[in-house]
A = this chain, B = another copy of it.
Amino acid sequence: MHRKTDLLTIGQLAERSGLAPSALRFYESLDLISSSRTAGGRRRYQRSTLRRIAVVQAAQRVGLTLAEVGAAFADLSSDAAPTRREWERLSSRWQAALDARIEALEKVRDELANCIGCGCLSLRRCSLYNSGDRAARRGVGPRWLLGDDPAVPVAPDGDRR
Contact = CB atoms under 8 A, between A and B. Distances in A.
A104 B146 CA distance: 9
A39 interface: no
Name the interface size band of chain A. Answer: 35 or more
A6 interface: no
Interface string A62-81: 11110010011011000001
A120 interface: yes
A51 interface: yes
A154 B94 contact: yes
Interface string A132-161: 111111110111111111111111101101
Question: 9 shortest A-B CB distances, which residue pairs?
Answer: A147-B149, A147-B148, A54-B132, A147-B147, A18-B135, A97-B154, A68-B155, A54-B129, A71-B155
5 contacts: A97-B152, A99-B109, A144-B145, A147-B147, A148-B152
